[in-house]
């Protein structure tokens, strides 16, 4: 959804983990793609280094998705146990992929910062587009996804995604793919060019207006309203 947890929230989670003697797995693959506030690495919190398995990789921060290079860091006993399974399922990442990852670490920092700046620019364009469509959307604070509320169209998440694809050739992910609480929302990625995003939102805007008009027409014809007060446009 683009939502992030600040340090205070993570400290509260850490207290629960320590109180119940739990092990926490922290996937921080999007950690470098943070636009609001600062990313907090969970093992850096008091008492969490020894009870956290950190997962990360090069796919997002260095745009190396196809290279499939990632890593786990944590207590030596945890990593040893993980290695017993890992080494007999895939052995290791291809040598060429490892060489590419090493080059990214050595010389990719500048390029990554420029990429994050471009993502941040697209993030603002996306928020403005949803505002103009009248689709409430919480501000994405990290990664490159937005999670707008589409309930005012009268469509379910899956119907919205399927019809948008069929009618406008724009692909989004239905929110219920991430659990029942995601119903009524869709997930959109802005990991695309500004030109493609502009065209996609132009098409989506036409689609939303069409569906919303149809939904209201149905409501008036039956004497029922599908549009709740809280579903109307709000400033984001």
Residue 215's pLDDT is 72
What CA–CA distance (Å, rounded) separates 189 from 113? Answer: 19
- Asked whether residue 194 is assigned to any structural domain, the reply reads yes
Sheet (strand 173-174) strand order: 145-146, 186-189, 173-174
Residue 55's pLDDT is 97
Within this chain, do residues 222 and 184 fall inside the same structural domain, yes or no?
yes
Domain boundary among 76, 107, 138: 107
Domain boundary among 54, 82, 107: 107
Within this chain, do residues 84 and 121 fall inside the same structural domain, yes or no?
no
Beta strand ranges found along the chain (DSSP E): 24-27, 52-57, 70-73, 145-146, 173-174, 186-189
Longest CA–CA separation in the chain, Å: 66
Which residues make beta-bridge pairs with 73? 54
Number of domains the chain is built from: 2
Contact present, 226 and 212 (Cβ < 8 Å)? no
- Asked whether residue 126 is assigned to any structural domain, the reply reads yes
Within this chain, do residues 78 and 41 fall inside the same structural domain, yes or no?
yes
Within this chain, do residues 115 and 216 fall inside the same structural domain, yes or no?
yes
- Asked whether residue 209 is assigned to any structural domain, the reply reads yes
Within this chain, do residues 163 and 213 fall inside the same structural domain, yes or no?
yes
* Residue 172 three-state SS: coil
Residue 213's pLDDT is 81
- Asked whether residue 147 is assigned to any structural domain, the reply reads yes
What CA–CA distance (Å, rounded) separates 227 from 50? Answer: 50
Within this chain, do residues 129 and 80 fall inside the same structural domain, yes or no?
no
Q: Give the N- to C-terminal CA distance of the chain in Å, as an integer.
A: 15
Residue 157's pLDDT is 98
Contact present, 145 and 137 (Cβ < 8 Å)? no
What CA–CA distance (Å, rounded) separates 29 from 145? Answer: 14
- Tokens 């260095």 sit on residue: 62
Contact present, 229 and 147 (Cβ < 8 Å)? no
Within this chain, do residues 115 and 193 fall inside the same structural domain, yes or no?
yes
Within this chain, do residues 12 and 52 fall inside the same structural domain, yes or no?
yes
Residue 120 exposed, middle or buried by CB count within 10 Å (0-12, 13-18, 19+): middle
Domain boundary among 90, 107, 124: 107
Within this chain, do residues 30 and 55 fall inside the same structural domain, yes or no?
yes
Within this chain, do residues 31 and 46 fall inside the same structural domain, yes or no?
yes
Q: What is the CATH number of the domain that holds 123?
A: 3.90.1150.10
Within this chain, do residues 46 and 102 fall inside the same structural domain, yes or no?
yes
With a cut of 70, list the residues of the chain below it in pLDDT.
Answer: 216-236
What range does the domain containing 17 cover?
Answer: 7-107
Residue 151's CB is within 10 A of a number of other CB atoms, namely 21
- Asked whether residue 1 is assigned to any structural domain, the reply reads no
Residue 219's pLDDT is 52
């Amino acid at each position: 959804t683009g939502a992030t947890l600040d340090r205070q929230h993570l400290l509260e989670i850490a207290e629960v983990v320590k109180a119940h003697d739990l092990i926490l797995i922290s996937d921080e693959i999007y950690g470098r793609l943070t636009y609001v506030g600062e990313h907090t690495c969970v093992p850096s919190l008091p008492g969490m280094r020894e009870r956290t398995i950190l997962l990360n990789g090069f796919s997002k921060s260095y745009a190396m998705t196809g290279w499939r290079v990632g890593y786990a860091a944590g207590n030596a006993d945890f990593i040893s146990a993980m290695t017993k399974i890992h080494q007999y399922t895939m052995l290791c990442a291809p040598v060429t992929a490892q060489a590419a990852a090493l080059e990214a670490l050595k010389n990719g920092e500048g390029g990554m910062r420029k990429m994050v700046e471009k993502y941040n620019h697209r993030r603002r364009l996306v928020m403005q587009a949803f505002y103009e469509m009248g689709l409430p959307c919480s501000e994405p604070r990290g990664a490159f996804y937005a999670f707008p509320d589409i309930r005012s169209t009268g469509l379910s998440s899956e119907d919205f995604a399927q019809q948008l694809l069929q009618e406008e050739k724009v692909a989004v992910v239905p929110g219920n793919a991430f659990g029942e609480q995601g119903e009524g929302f869709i997930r959109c990625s802005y990991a695309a060019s500004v030109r493609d995003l502009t065209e996609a939102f132009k098409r989506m805007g036409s689609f939303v207006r069409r569906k919303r008009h149809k939904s209201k027409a149905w409501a008036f014809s039956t004497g029922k309203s599908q549009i709740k007060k809280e579903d109307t446009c709000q400033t984001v």
